[in-house]
Amino acid sequence: MSLIRSLEIENFQSHELTKLDLHKGLNVIVGPSDQGKSALIRALRWLCYNEPKGTDFFRVGANFCRVKLVLDTSEEIIRERTSSKNRYIYCNPKGEETVFEGFGNTIPWEIVEVLQMSKVSLDADSELALNISQQLEGPFLLNEKGSLRAKMIGRLTGVHIIDVAIREVARDLSSQQQEEKRLTKQLEEISEKLSQYDYLPDLQVAIVKQEELQKKLLSSSQQLQKIKEMRQKWELLQLQEQQCQQMLNSLQKIEEAKDLISQAELLSERRKFLKKLVTQYRQIIEDEKKTESFLIQLAEIELEEKKLEKAEKILQRKSNLLELKKRIDKWKEEYMQIKKVWNKVEKLEISEKNIFLLEKKIEHYNLLKNIQTNWQSTELEIKHQSKEKEKLEKKFSQFLAEYQRKLQEKGQCPLCFSQVDENVLQNILNNYH
């Protein structure tokens, strides 16, 4: 434990501000009565044990109280209280402070560790301060009760551990005796309840007999079921025997039946052959319809070929008209030259020959102008026919490809029904190009 170096008291009972420097040995404080000697001990108890409670020890007229303790390790412990604060302050040798608040009636354990002057607990209700005594308190333990002295001496010698062990053993022994009484009573109650089930052995024998009877009944039921099944099979066999007898009676005419079967087989073969012919006939009818449809389409192709020939004639006519247009342009140029010459002629009289030629030229010019108009309309018609020609050629190619595919699928000519190979197919297609 550290030694106290100094004690400073402020506003505690009669002390306004008091500071005591203590020595390492024995320190004696003397003075008249009621001068504050006991207040020093109370201030020390207030710091070490947080006693007394409340604020009755405040100096009259003061609103705060403060006690400061300095240890020989240069550590400081301050206990102060105001109307709004109640705290401990710990200052380590480096001068760093730590404030403790909200500790209630106890003491912060950090302060207890520094002071090392905590009370000794004798039991749950008794604590003893060994380091600081009260005023007028007698020598150690002489004023205490005998039981308290015994507890303290026992704690000092370690006998309190034996007392605690004896108390715990007595408590456990009492608990075990109560548990034994409870279990004995419970056993009696269970025995009384079990007496109600004394009839169970007889009941078990009766259950065994019932189970044996049930097994016999089940076996008899199974045998009865087998007998019913055998009866059904016997009735079924009788019915089959009757059917076989009827069948034997009907087999007396088996020779006639054989002849009928032979005739039926011939008719069946013939029916299959006719059915095959009907199928082929229907297929031929269907192919004929497709061929007629295709021929109709081919007829449309011939009409389109005529239109194509007409378009080619129109193209030839266009070429002729273009040639005429060149000649007209040349005549126009000659006419313009003649007109220039005519404007330069000073004489008003014109020879009849020149007038006749000029009139002829004018008539020819009008004719060429009409031809040009016709040529323009013909050119529009040729463009339209060219577009139609392209459409017809495209459509003709589609028809021809479809016709080729049909011939390849059938493998025979739709008209003469002869076989068609690749060479024949190519010759047919070349005739349409």
Residue 91 has what pLDDT?
94
The model's pLDDT over 333-381, given as tens digits with 9 standing for 90+, comes to: 766 766 665 555 544 455 556 666 666 777 776 777 777 777 777 777 7
State pLDDT tens for residues 159-171.
Answer: 667 777 787 888 8
Q: How far from the centroid of its chain's Cα atoms is residue 97's Cα?
A: 58
CATH code that applies to domain 4-118: 3.40.50.300
Predicted confidence at residue 348, as pLDDT, reads 47
pLDDT digits 0-9 by tens, 254-273: 566 566 667 767 767 777 77
pLDDT tens for each residue of 221-239 = 788 888 888 888 888 887 8
Domain-by-domain residue ranges, the chain?
4-118, 306-432
Mean pLDDT of 40-52: 89
**Cβ partners under 8 Å of residue 155, min gap 6:** 120, 122
Q: For 298-326, what is each residue's pLDDT tens digit?
A: 556 566 667 667 767 777 777 777 777 77
**pLDDT score recorded for residue 66:** 94
Which pLDDT score is estimated for 212? Answer: 85
Sequence-ordered list of residues with C-beta below 8 angstroms from that of 66, at least 6 positions apart, any chain:
8, 9, 10, 11, 12, 78, 79, 80, 81
Q: In whole angstroms, how far apart are CA 172 and each of 27, 123, 165, 179, 280?
A: 52, 20, 10, 10, 115
In whole numbers, what is the pLDDT of the chain averaged over residues? 76
Nearest to 54 by CA among 81, 23, 74, 33: 81
Tokens at 174, concatenated:
């009492």
In the structure, what pLDDT confidence band is assigned to residue 75 with cuts at 50, 70 and 90? very high
- Cα–Cα distance list, 413 to 43, 292, 360, 421, 422 (Å): 139, 13, 66, 10, 12
Does the pLDDT at position 137 exceed 70? no
CA distance 382 to 60: 137
